[in-house]
């Protein structure tokens, strides 16, 4: 297998080196005359070795080397545990609040119905002497005027 320096470079590689040389000239690292010479050599270069020689004295990576990849950093347990708890507990708390509020209002409705509705009818029936049906209501056909 051929060494990396002997591998042929593509047009994109030559353009990459030319852009890097232009940035170096803009930063003041190389002179304008030197930029022209290096650009001419970069655009006529055939291999990675020739391109790397043009940018070897500039800071940064050489052309043919792969970029170093960082291992993905995991959150530290000190940060990860509170985040996981928050993600878990916030929905549970929201459901509890919503259902608790609804359950509280339902409780008041049931208590109100029992106190004023069903119980109130029984008290009214007991005071007026009228019989109630098994479901808590008056019999059909009975009128208020009949019971008095």
The pLDDT value recorded for residue 65 is: 46
For residue range 113-133, what is the model confidence (pLDDT) as tens digits? 777 776 556 666 666 666 655
Position 103 in a domain: yes
The pLDDT value recorded for residue 121 is: 60
Residue that wins the pLDDT comparison between 111 and 73:
111
Position 80 in a domain: no
The residue-averaged pLDDT of 78-100 equals 83
C-alpha span between 71 and 89 (Å, rounded): 31
pTM for this predicted structure: 0.42
Percent of the chain past pLDDT 70, that is, above it, reads 67
pLDDT value at 80 more than 70:
yes
pLDDT value at 1 more than 50:
no
The residue-averaged pLDDT of 78-96 equals 85
C-alpha span between 131 and 133 (Å, rounded): 7
Position 125 in a domain: yes
Domain count, the chain: 2
15-19, 114-118, 132-136 — most confident range: 15-19
Position 66 in a domain: no
Position 63 in a domain: no
C-alpha span between 49 and 9 (Å, rounded): 9
The pLDDT value recorded for residue 98 is: 79
* Distances 92 to 66, 79, 82, 88, 96 between C-alpha atoms, Å: 47, 21, 15, 7, 6
8: containing domain: 4-55
Position 123 in a domain: yes
The pLDDT value recorded for residue 36 is: 93
């Amino acid at each position: 297998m051929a060494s990396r320096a002997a591998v042929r470079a593509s047009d994109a590689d030559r353009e990459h080196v030319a852009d890097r040389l232009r940035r170096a000239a803009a930063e003041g690292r190389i002179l304008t005359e030197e930029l022209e010479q290096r650009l001419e050599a970069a655009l006529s270069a055939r291999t990675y070795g020739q391109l790397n020689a043009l940018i070897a004295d500039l800071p940064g990576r050489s052309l043919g080397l792969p970029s170093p990849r960082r291992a993905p950093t995991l959150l530290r347990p000190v940060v990860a545990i509170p985040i996981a708890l928050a993600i878990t507990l916030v929905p549970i708390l929201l459901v509890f609040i919503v259902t608790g509020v609804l359950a509280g209002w339902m409780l008041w409705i049931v208590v109100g119905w029992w106190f004023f509705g069903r119980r109130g009818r029984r008290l009214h029936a007991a005071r007026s002497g009228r019989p109630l049906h098994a479901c808590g209501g008056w019999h059909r056909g009975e009128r208020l005027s009949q019971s008095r």
